[in-house]
Amino acid sequence: MERRDFIRLSAAGAAVSVIAPTLAQAAEAGKQPTPPGDVFYTKDAQGRWAGKAATHLPVIEVVKADGKATVKITTPHEVKGYEHYIVKHVLLDKDYKFLNERLFDPSKDPAAISEFSLVGYSGTVYALSLCNKHDLWLSSAEV
């Protein structure tokens, strides 16, 4: 990986690392997290990126079997090298606490697809999808 690409990936990772704890702190304080458009975008609140949800909003599939859930996150976004791609997926629990993440390398990953295993978890999960040009997108599903 070239130095410039490493710096881009590091900056994007740092951005999500700042946002996820902010959501968790709001949940712990009994407040609703920052409204969409201030920190993240959703299907219903696309803010300045209106029209981008179809390719930026993470799609969550949950498959349950034997007390274990597999959460598959797909962001149907094309990969144009480091010029335009999904940087990472982050999985949060019902209290917006970090569960797991997957960082994508556009020189190796042809699509933004990640899978996570959850044992003994039930409730809402939130998926964050970070685009290097169109910010952070949030969706949720029940496990």
Residue ranges per structural domain of the chain: 3-142
Q: What is the pLDDT of residue 24?
A: 58
- Tell me if residue 94 falls in helix, strand or coil: coil
Residue 76 has pLDDT above 70, yes or no: yes
* Sheet of 112-119, strand order: 59-65, 68-75, 112-119
Is CATH 2.60.40.730 correct for 3-142? yes
The pLDDT tens digits for 113-138 are 999 999 999 999 999 999 999 999 99
For residues 30 and 6, give the distance between their C-alpha atoms in angstroms, rounded to a whole number.
Answer: 37
For residues 103 and 87, give the distance between their C-alpha atoms in angstroms, rounded to a whole number.
Answer: 6
How large is the average pLDDT for residues 37-54?
90
Residue 8 has pLDDT above 70, yes or no: no
Phi, psi (deg, nearest 5) at residue 123: 125, -170
pTM of the model: 0.76
How large is the average pLDDT for residues 77-100?
96
